[in-house]
Amino acid sequence: MRLVPLLGAALLAAGCATPRPPGPPPLTPGPSIVPNFDVPSMRARMVFLAEQEWELFGRGVVERDAGGTARIEFAGPSTHEVQPAMLSRVLMYWYAVTRAPIVGRQGELEPWSAAFISWLARSAGLTPEEFPSTVFHWDYIERFLAAGDGTRFVARDPRAYAPRVGDLVCISRSDAVTDFGSLRRGPYHCDLVVGTNAQELEVVGGNVGDIVARARFGVDERGLLVPRDDRPWVAVIEQRSPR
């Protein structure tokens, strides 16, 4: 009657005595990987985060052929917003700023470019009072049109203000808005400026070809944006504080 319990105890003891297989070797970063935790300003943090997301989405760059048709060129494997790893990023941007459903009535993802910009602002440490949490570009464009002297952001006319790193450059997606003077509620797209030189500026934006992508746009000798052939530049959101 006692053989079964004794046998079970013996097997349990033997199992406990069985040596465990060796675990994986400890992970250590390579010599070229140097973490950078010293990103002092809000402006620099937004740029750092935008560059990070661009890297995660495969370093896609908008290129245009001779006819003006845009395409995304990838440094490595191509990505898309519905791929599992990429979708998790998009959901993070969206639900960081709103509780609204991200899937529309047609079963497709809602446009998330404004959520991406808002996520950059939140993650860099800006408060909702400094930069609205929104999935509509117009919400912050409208606020910054009425900005006072003490505010961090202000809307500028792209025909008179040269964008700097950390600013936002915006186009209209409506035929009703063609310049800074005709700004009104409607669809827009804005990108964050991450680099400038004498001939062009580089921007990173969300929901560009369904990814976080990089693009280049020409500037004139004064640093002003050269007009686009497809959609007009209608606003630059200047980030005035260096903090």
Query: pLDDT, tens digit, for every residue of 76-123?
Result: 889 999 999 999 999 999 999 999 999 988 889 999 999 999 999 999
Q: What percent of the chain has pLDDT over 90?
A: 72
- Point out the least confidently predicted range of 148-152, 168-172, 178-182: 148-152
Question: Across residues 17-27, what is the average pLDDT?
Answer: 55
Q: Is the pTM of this model over 0.75?
A: yes
**pLDDT of 4 over the 80 cut:** no
Q: Give residue 8's pLDDT.
A: 45
Q: Give residue 41's pLDDT.
A: 86
CA distances to 51, 112, 136, 147, 169 from 108, in Å:
26, 11, 17, 35, 26
Helix (H) or strand (E) segment spanning residue 12: helix 3-17
Question: Across residues 139-153, what is the average pLDDT?
Answer: 91
Q: What percent of the chain has pLDDT over 70?
A: 82
**pLDDT of 16 over the 50 cut:** no
Residue 25 pLDDT grade (very low, low, confident, very high; cuts 50, 70, 90): low
Q: Give residue 5's pLDDT.
A: 45
Residue 148 pLDDT grade (very low, low, confident, very high; cuts 50, 70, 90): confident
Q: Give residue 18's pLDDT.
A: 47
Q: Give residue 69's pLDDT.
A: 81
Residues 29-72 have pLDDT tens digits of 666 656 666 667 889 999 999 999 999 999 999 998 766 788 99
As given in the structure block, the two tokens for residue 180 are 């800074």
Q: Give residue 228's pLDDT.
A: 87
Q: Give residue 152's pLDDT.
A: 93
Which position has the higher pLDDT, 69 or 133? 133
Phi, psi of 164 (to 5 degrees): -120, 165
Q: What is the DSSP string of the chain?
A: --HHHHHHHHHHHHHHHSPPPP-PPPP---TT--------SHHHHHHHHHHHHHHHTT--EEEE-TT--EEEE-SSS---TTSHHHHHHHHHHHHHH--S-SB-TTSSBPP-HHHHHHHHHHHHT--TTTS---S-HHHHHHHHHT--TTSSEEEE-TTT----TT-EEEEESSTT--SGGG--SS-EEEEEEEEE-SSEEEEEEEEETTEEEEEEEEB-TTSPBPPPSSS-EEEEEEE----
Q: Structural domains in the chain?
A: 40-239 (3.90.1720)
- Point out the least confidently predicted range of 65-79, 114-128, 187-201: 65-79
